[in-house]
Amino acid sequence: MYPILGWVFVVLTLIVLPIIFGPAAFVMGVLTFRKRSKVHGIVLMVVSVIVLIISIILSALMMMA
């Protein structure tokens, strides 16, 4: 359940409220790392941070345009 929620939160980070869903995806990655698969948890944490940064940059660029 944690990996599925994590990936859903990653997608939502790109679409709406990156400040909320980005950290939520990271937390799901941590929970996946601890309780399920270490590799999948690490991948989820890294992707969530990258997508959060991209989403914040895109939001800033859209606000300046």
Does the pTM surpass 0.85? The reply is: yes
Residues in CB range of 58: below 8 A, 6 or more apart:
none
Q: pLDDT digits over 16-46, tens only?
A: 888 999 999 999 999 999 998 899 999 999 9
Tokens of 7: 């990936």
Place of tokens 């937390």: 27
pLDDT band at 1 (very low <50, low <70, confident <90, very high): confident
Report the pLDDT value the prediction gives residue 36, as an integer from 0 to 100.
86
Residue 22 belongs to what domain range?
A: 2-64
Tokens of 9: 């939160």
Task: Give 36's Cβ-side CA count (13 Å radius).
Answer: 17
Tokens of 12: 């939502």
Count of domains forming the chain: 1
Tokens of 20: 């909320």
